[in-house]
Structure 1
């Protein structure tokens, strides 16, 4: 996985070229020194949180656009390998960046020990984003799944068959489903392949006899 510095350097070069900005003009807009900007574009140094926020404002982009690496079909972010960006009061790491399209749904899922769920493909263009919050979980496209621990993150295409299987006990995860327009599931349970909801006994309709 490329470092944060590599991603920032590539995105800065691209954004500056797209906007036709010199380093001097970018420095004036961001109030970041020209030498610092030059080092960041070369992939040198450890960018501070405050510096990156200033650059995002100067480029008129979201913070995540400066950190986003080159996209891959299955994107894995290991908690032990992904660097945090530190500031004066907070440290953060970018898990993923979602461009608004269609509908986005958020779920918390609990996977029972010993279970294995093989999910049929969702609609075309659906993406799944999953952050393991406890336990270990095997997840992802069939034949290309990955084993994750608490704190690990994965993004993968949901429009191909995929699997969820806890490893060594139960597991829990936060799942974000990104549905393009026209690709919504028929019911919420289909979005996360949850077991069917229990049937609810309804009172008989007027004139009907219970027990028929």
Structure 2
């Protein structure tokens, strides 16, 4: 029986970890694309402004938490940025509830990011920092707009030009002090991110794709470790 296991079953089991990794990576691809987009936009902002924070968790002013993709200190105040790393054609009006991503003949609706970013702006304003708070939604260059780009929206290629009015001059003491106070309100560590994730799940439901993707990657690692342990154990090492 042991010989049958070694000759037939074990080779099949070795095929499972790569398969689980592929399946898990496919489920996590949208999340990975989102992180990639935030890195692209984050680097652009760092080239434009003296100080930038990324993936910031703050009180939302209503007893909960909100996560902001990017916050920048500018000579004209504070800038709140929401990143979208989408490809294909984008259709959407400034006041519409949902926009649509068009890839071929497929349509993928998503929440209007301008509305999403307004909630982030309100959270920053609720801190009472006494400085203007500006907003911008940035799409990476894989996206193109079917109609005119709505006000308050940029693509990476036009970001420096679109934010030109916020870049002139020096950052005064009052704005630097407001930035310091803002940094002091940032919620750091795994507990804050866990609380925010639970809040999002209560509002919008669990992200089962991400959960399953992480579970598959974990299972692939555990199975690969078990198989390696059996191989090294069988040779007496």
The verdict on a shared fold, with TM-score over 0.5 as the criterion, is: no
Looking at secondary structure, tell me which structure has more helix per residue. 2
TM-score, scaled relative to structure 2:
0.20
